[in-house]
A and B are shown apart, each in its own frame.
Chain A
Amino acid sequence: MNSSVKIDDFSLRSSSLRIGERIIRGTLFAASAFSVLITIGIVWSLLVPALEFFRQVPVMDFLTGTRWAPRFKPASFGVLPLIVGTLWTTTIALIVAVPFGLGSAMYLSEYASDKTRRRLKPVVELLAGIPTVVYGFFAIEFVTRVVLKDWMGLDVGTFSVLSAGLVMGVMIIPTVASLSEDALSAVPLAMRQGSFALGANKMQTTLRVVFPAAFSGIAAAVVLGISRAVGETMIVALAAGNKPNISSNPLEGAQTMTGFIANAALGDSRVGSLEYDTLFAVGLLLFMSTLIINFISIRLVRRYREAY
């Protein structure tokens, strides 16, 4: 075609294009290395003061002690009350978020018309955009005072894990709903058709075929909801109170791990003091908990991933 084509054009030596590719590759590598480095930095900065803490307080006393009073004389560093507080708020939040989140995901993916879905999904996701401090305020002023006290006549104080958990559950609904909806919608239409062609109805198809097919995605959605609940700070700091408390009564207030950190970090603990190091010990515990949750989630996703 072109008269200037020479045998040279068949050279197998790499052209200059490769250099551009190398630069791009390097840049992308730097980007991912950066976040890895930041993570290592965070762990390091948690680890150093936390280790200092554990030199003074035995790990076993910390993990199994039932009294959390780091500012008292004599101080006591049993973290169980904070763990129990976190368990309470997280469990209550899940009791709200899982049924409502999965319910709306199923409705949006299986039942709603295209038009309804397009309108409803952004509204559900809007819940995720509300600042958590607003949720916290809503928990104290509306849920505790109006819903629990006035409407339901419950004997609830200013602070309660019930109120904090309920509102946190509402906050997590969009996380669970949106990710589960993605997982359900990703299930191929052919699988639903297969079920309908055998005479199954919509509910049977949704619960027995689509739901199991999307299980790994739904599990990931719920686990992400759990880690958001465990790590959520503002709502619990405002609505659950700051009194460490091992209680079987959700109407009482309690302090969570995050609640303690938020509270203590605002205090005037001297850098290097035991009180200061306490923050990092709890921070490390929190970090480990979410790490374990994420780890479980990855395992779940792998185990139940369906190759369709």
Chain B
Amino acid sequence: MTSDSQGLSRSMHLGASTRGETVHPIMELRNLDVYYGSFHAVRDISLDVGANQITAFIGPSGCGKSTVLRCLNRTNDLVPSARVTGVIDYRGQDLYAATVDPIEVRRRVGMVFQKPNPFPKSIFDNVAYGPRVTGMKLDKSETADLVEHALSKAGLWSEVKDKLDQSGFALSGGQQQRLCIARAIATSPDILLMDEPCASLDPIATSLIEDLMLELVNDYTVVIVTHNMQQAARVSDRTAFFSARVDDAGQRYGHLVEMDQTSKIFTNPSDSRTEDYISGRFG
């Protein structure tokens, strides 16, 4: 265990940047509660997402990381039974206010899913999809430039530049995931959400995507869910540790244990549960 956590802190000092230690929140979650039907899945989450930072959500399976992440761009609206209460303040507006159009939210807050989900279209059309549906008025060459730009950013351009008209399904899993990232980048979102983006990838593809996140964060804000402690330590600026506990009625629910600078969470967490989880003593 000791050697492991030493390894962690070493890689963290090598990898994680020293980007702004003070948080300029771009999103502020206040007392967020999520219900699936009558199941009160996630309770009382309050946290800040810093602008131009990578925020990591970590914690055991089923503690509500994906649920909270999906609230940040209102993809939970697509789950018929889901209901959200509380406030998510994004640049001075509450994402869940009645006047807010979820489609407009998703145009600004993009998302990459755990499992690559390319569309049944060519590689080119996959990337051009977002700009097209959001009504960006681009002519042919502008679209082509944008596609090249997005694919280059996702580190995929050199691998696919000669087969842009082939189906997105014809790529390997890791390439598909980078295609999905390129697709999300093409709409120039303000914030990019990534739910375990490397879960189905090999170490090489994973490190490509980590490099990409570190590059993206110059222009965007990134929120990532990960089960990989090293990954959280390597790339993120701030880390939120979620956990599950059982209420008086015997219902298991997710809550936020603590959130802090990643270096602090991994070396000197305030809560012993965080330390237990990170050092693998959980459960």
Contact = CB atoms under 8 A, between A and B. Distances in A.
Interface in A37-86: none
Interface in A168-209: 188-201, 204, 208-209
B110 interface: yes
Contact of B133 (A113, A189, A193, A200): A200
The residue among B104, B106, B133, B180 with the most chain A CB atoms within 10 A of its own CB is: B133
Contacts of A200: 103, 129-130, 133-134
A195 B103 contact: no
A213 B120 contact: yes
A202 B115 CA distance: 22
A103 interface: no
B35 to A, nearest CB: 18
Given A113-B80, A114-B80, A190-B117, 6 more contacts: A194-B118, A195-B133, A198-B183, A208-B119, A212-B121, A213-B120
Interface string B83-118: 000000000000000000001101100110101011
Interface residues of A, number: 25
Contacts of A306: 120, 167, 169
A199 B180 contact: no
Given A194-B117, A197-B111, A308 B169 contact: yes
B75 A199 contact: no
Interface of A: 113-114, 188-201, 204, 208-209, 212-213, 215, 306-308
B240 interface: no
Contacts of B169: 306-308
A197 B73 contact: yes
21 contacts: A188-B117, A189-B78, A190-B113, A190-B115, A191-B120, A193-B113, A194-B118, A196-B75, A197-B106, A197-B110, A197-B111, A197-B184, A198-B106, A198-B130, A198-B133, A199-B187, A200-B130, A201-B133, A208-B129, A209-B119, A307-B169
